[in-house]
Amino acid sequence: MQPLKRLWTLTVPGLLLLSGAVVVERAINASPLVATVQDEPNKPADEDPASPPEFFWQRSDPSLIQDEPLTVVVPKGLPPLTPKVVVPAHNPLTKGKYELGRQLYFDPRLSGNGEVSCATCHNPDKGWSDGGKVSTGIHGQTGNRSAPTVFNTAYGKSMFWDGRSPSLEGQAQGPIVNPIEMGMPKHENVVRKIREIPGYNQQFEKVFGTKPTLDGIAKAIATFERVAALSGNSKFDKYNGGENDALSESEKRGMVLFGLRLNADDEFAPGVELQKAKCTLCHVGANFTDEQYHNLGIGWNEEKQKFDDPGRWAPEPIGQKSDASLGAFKTPTVRNAALTGPYMHDGSLKTLEDVVEHYNKGGTPNPSLDVDMKPLKLTPQESADVVAFMKALTGEVKTTAELLPTLPSDADGKVPDPRAALSTPKKKAVQAEPHAAR
């Protein structure tokens, strides 16, 4: 649909700043900002049309920006965070933005009841997930999908198990207003809440040259995730970098079964068939994913003869629906798999041994099972070797303690403790709704 073209006026009222006990009001611009834009700023599709556009997006005043580029040396084995290729051109990495994103990521004030933060379900110490079969959000409500890890999502081409969001920036907006995750009624409410916190107003001004907006919140959180959740330099990466003794014999056999060759100068004779386990047909490249969607039969309901969760099929636009996408989900990374269980979109497989067993039997038969899902005939030793190899993909990780920020205080001086939001929210007497498609 062609967006409505019109001229709109953006007025930036005075900013409330707290200094000691004295409330000082000052305008971030001497004169009201008048912007001429071609298109109306994009609001999230489900947004209340009555919400003021300047809550979502504002033209920045470059003279306010006080920030500097952030250079990141990625861990061994990962591709560089190339600007415009890995890091979007519209959201370059900067130091102040990373710091702002770190605070927002751990801040439970982004949720409706002030008890849930992104880290509730993506806790760095729990493999940037929550350790649960499915995740538990506000008022202890449970969804029907497992929280995927944030590890190395910097390289992801799409987000969510069904890929319905194209970027980390797009993804970060969803959970805030999801009624069973963070439960804010509208994005307008979260922006209002952030604007009541003086420390956030100051940071948004320096980082974006604007008041807090949804655009800025999404960009800052994405920047934090892109950098803080990088993980590489695993035993495999050391081996791949030329240290032939970085992997054990079992790990090397597992690597060959998985689908990767030994180093040319490694004299070890693995005695197993290359790619017998077929894993690299889908878990390929530096982050061990083809970024595609496949049906492994996970979640097939034999009794009802259907998938309880339609997977990739749901976000496919009308006119492009394919039955082959029913029950297909995005290939996740296998890096750090030892830290991110339980596994699969529904958390139905508890251990890495269970995962290999699922592949070994050729998946669960159903009408749209991926063509590459065939019984593998792995021996028990070979299955154990594949598991050993996956464990050798555990990389260096930052701990929650290392990343936890001090949050900016409320207008009344109260500082929330981000650690309070790291435990699973308690059940309250609220009816759980099915995981809304955002």
Positions that interact with ligand HEC (CB under 6 A)? 116, 118, 120-122, 135, 137, 143, 145, 147-148, 150, 153, 156, 159-162, 168, 171-172, 175-176, 181-182, 221, 225, 277-279, 281-283, 294, 296, 298, 329, 331-332, 334, 337, 340, 343-345, 352, 355-356, 359, 370, 372-373, 386, 390
- Give whichever of 182 and 397 is closer to ligand HEC, judged by the CB atom: 182
* Cβ count near 219 (within 10 Å): 24
- Give whichever of 77 and 143 is closer to ligand HEC, judged by the CB atom: 143
The closest of 58, 434, 112, 270 to 262, measured between CA atoms, is 270
- Give whichever of 28 and 133 is closer to ligand HEC, judged by the CB atom: 133
CB of 214 to ligand HEC, least distance (A): 11
CB of 79 to ligand HEC, least distance (A): 17
The whole-angstrom separation of Cα 58 and Cα 243 is: 51
Q: Is 119 helix (H, G, I), strand (E, B) or coil?
A: helix
- Give whichever of 116 and 207 is closer to ligand HEC, judged by the CB atom: 116
- Give whichever of 6 and 426 is closer to ligand HEC, judged by the CB atom: 426
On the 0-12 / 13-18 / 19+ scale of CB atoms within 10 A, 82 is exposed
CB of 299 to ligand HEC, least distance (A): 6
Contact 266, 401 (CB under 8 A): no
Q: Is 167 helix (H, G, I), strand (E, B) or coil?
A: coil
The whole-angstrom separation of Cα 172 and Cα 252 is: 38
- Give whichever of 102 and 345 is closer to ligand HEC, judged by the CB atom: 345
- Give whichever of 227 and 356 is closer to ligand HEC, judged by the CB atom: 356
- What's the sign of the alpha-carbon dihedral 32, 36, 40, 44? negative
CB of 233 to ligand HEC, least distance (A): 20
CB of 261 to ligand HEC, least distance (A): 16
Greatest pairwise CA separation for the chain in angstroms: 76
* Cβ count near 96 (within 10 Å): 19
CB of 396 to ligand HEC, least distance (A): 19
CB of 315 to ligand HEC, least distance (A): 9
Residue type, 71: T
On the 0-12 / 13-18 / 19+ scale of CB atoms within 10 A, 45 is exposed
Contact 212, 200 (CB under 8 A): yes
